[in-house]
Amino acid sequence: MGPSDTANGTDDMAYGNKGHSHGHRKIFGNNSVGPYKPEFTDDITKHLSVQIILIMAYSLIILLGLVGNALVIYMIILYRNMRTVTNYFIANLALADLMVDTLCLPFTLVYTLMDEWKFGAVMCHMVPYAQALSVHVSIMTLTVIALERYRCIVFHLGQRLSRCASFVIIGLTWTFAAILAGPLAIFREYRYEEIPYINLRIAVCSEKWPHGSNWDGIIYSLSMLLLQYVLPLGIISYAYVCIWIKLKNHVSPSNRNDSIQRRKKTTKMLALVVVVFAVCWLPFHVFQLASDLDLVLKFEEYKLLYTLFHIVAMCSTFTNPLLYGWMNKNYRNGFLMFFRCEHKPDTIHPEGSFRTRSLRGLIVNGPNDGQPAAAV
């Protein structure tokens, strides 16, 4: 996956929209206009121990996300029997998560620690847009995977999508995601805020909706919550429940038992990917909605809570490769081969053996009648 939940109408550049203006008002205590000098409040994210923990948490997420998702894409490109429609969609998920790890999280961490946007006007527009784009791509791809498996398993359609059709669908997901994320790139403002009582001038990256009203932002946030979280997860849940019922009640000849068991295992893995995504993002979505409705901005630890929920959401960017390695033998064997620096095969056998290029003749004449082992 994810990002700050950009889809919820507030960029992950946390305190730049609701966050930054409200955040500075809280930190500097100038929540009223008058002749008196504002009172400073303690911002726990400025404590050295807390900053070290935040740096370690974000760095670990970035590292695991980069290594895990890059490995997933590498395996699908390298191994012939991994080039299936489902794996192309999985690679698309990995690509979206890589975007978060490279284009979003480093900027979010710096902005959180420094309370000032240091990256200029262009990145002020691009970073939240990239975050929103990746979240939309992720949830759309998860929905497409669920519907494709629903189509094939529930309706007994033996013909899977072609490679060309899968690439077209992937292109459409990025196109629709770009349109839905567009407002976060358009309605933004890079400006300097003066804090006269302490002679401070800071750069701020924040949302700026038409007519100067927060209602536009609230409407966008609620719309994205529905389109990015509630509706897709409803569709996905329905599809996987139908698939599970179908596979559970399915009676097949003994020679097809292996195929049915493999479908069950794959369905479990993909359903768990969706569950992890939903669980990681639920606290952040709820907190974002409460922020949009001004229900939590008065909390003294608003910024810390926002950051913690954001870290939980960002964990979804590295969990998928872990799930693949745990629940799928093809991915697990491929990961092990990579880290052991073993000779690269053409295909990966699900039972754990590998078919190397030097043994290509054994593949052709082997027990599978020349067919490479089935992948996901």
The domain spans of the chain are 6-343
The candidate with the shortest Cα–Cα distance to 82, out of 324, 319, 267, is 324
pLDDT at 175: 96
Quote the CA–CA distance of 186 and 122 in Å, as a whole number: 11
Q: Are 135 and 84 in contact (CB under 8 A)?
A: no
Residue pLDDT tens, the chain, 376 long? 434 443 333 333 333 343 333 333 333 233 333 333 334 456 788 888 989 999 999 999 999 999 999 999 999 998 888 888 989 999 999 999 999 999 899 998 998 888 889 898 999 999 999 989 999 999 999 999 999 988 888 887 667 788 899 999 999 999 999 999 999 999 998 988 887 777 788 888 888 888 777 788 788 888 888 998 999 999 999 999 888 888 877 655 555 566 677 777 888 888 899 999 999 999 998 888 888 777 877 777 888 889 999 999 999 999 999 988 888 888 888 888 888 887 666 666 554 444 444 333 333 334 344 444 445 6
Q: Are 288 and 11 in contact (CB under 8 A)?
A: no
Q: How many angstroms from the chain centroid is the CA of residue 335?
A: 21
Q: Are 127 and 11 in contact (CB under 8 A)?
A: yes
pLDDT at 361: 37
Q: Are strands 347-348 and 354-355 parallel, antiparallel or unpaired?
A: antiparallel
Q: Are 148 and 90 in contact (CB under 8 A)?
A: no
pLDDT at 220: 86
pLDDT at 67: 94
Quote the CA–CA distance of 205 and 292 in Å, as a whole number: 17
Residues 141, 142, 146, 149: is their CA dihedral positive or negative?
positive
Residues 361, 367, 371, 373: is their CA dihedral positive or negative?
negative
CATH class (in words) of the domain with range 6-343: mainly alpha
pLDDT at 368: 42
Helix or strand or coil: residue 152? helix
